[in-house]
Amino acid sequence: MTGKGGCDHELFSRGKRGMFTRKGVLVTCDVPMKQLIKHLDPGNRAIIQDLDETHLFVDANAVSTIKREIESFVDKHVYAPTPDEQARSGKPGR
């Protein structure tokens, strides 16, 4: 959707002074997180522009979905022993 060299002007509205502007949300995260967000949005519908390794420019409407998806993804990959297990084994619950 965006060429490597610059912005796709169709996505931007032209401001008073002839500048192309667009409102959105800047997502700052680590590298794997960014890949996860990209993975969650294969059609690039929410991601307006892929800025660099740790930054994405996304649509404001998608933010809540992204937050929710990240949460559930992270929860899925956490091992939390039941308290009984924890007490018996003496292992930390992560």
Partner 1 sequence: MLKPTYRPDLHGTEDGSAHVATVFDLLGTLPRISLDRLYGLEDLGSASSSCTPSASPFPWTCRAVFQSLTPLAKQYVMRLLCLPEGVRQSCLKSWVEPRFFTGHQKAVQQLDRLRILLSSEDEDIEEDEDDRDGGHGRLGNGKGRPSPRYRLNGHFRKNLQAALTNQLAGPWGVGRALEEKAAPDAALPPSLPSEELETYMCDKWNGVLHYLVGAEEAGFPDPAEEVKQFLADTGMMAVPEEEEGEEVEGEVEGEGGVVLMEVEGKMGKEGKGRRHLRITNAGINFLLKDVHLQVWRFVAYVIAHEAASRDEILTFLFQLSYCAVGRPYPVRALSPTQQALLEKFISFGLIYQDDRHSRHFYPTAVAVNLIFGGTVQEERLRRGHGHIRAEGRENRKELRLVDPSQLAVIVETNYQLVAYTSSSLHVEMLRIFTDVRCRLPNVVIGFITRASVRRAMASGITAATILSFLKTHTHVAVRTGKGRLLPENVEAQIELWHQERSRVKFEEVMMIDLSSLMVEEFEEVRTYAENLAVVCWASRRRGGGLWRQKKRRKRGAWGKSGVPRGGVVSASSY
Interface with partner 1, residue 12, by CB under 8 A: yes
Interface with partner 1, residue 57, by CB under 8 A: yes
Interface with partner 1, residue 87, by CB under 8 A: yes
Interface with partner 1, residue 28, by CB under 8 A: yes
Contact 54, 31 (CB under 8 A): yes
The tokens for 39 are 């993975």
Interface with partner 1, residue 26, by CB under 8 A: yes
Interface with partner 1, residue 91, by CB under 8 A: yes
What sign has the CA pseudo-torsion 15, 58, 53, 43?
negative
d(Cα 56, Cα 25) in Å, to the nearest integer? 8
| Chosen residue from 44, 45, 60, 61 binding partner 1 by CB under 8 A | 60
Nearer to partner 1, 10 or 42 (CB): 10
Collect all residues with Cβ–Cβ distance below 8 Å to 14 and sequence separation of at least 6.
20, 21
Nearer to partner 1, 72 or 78 (CB): 78
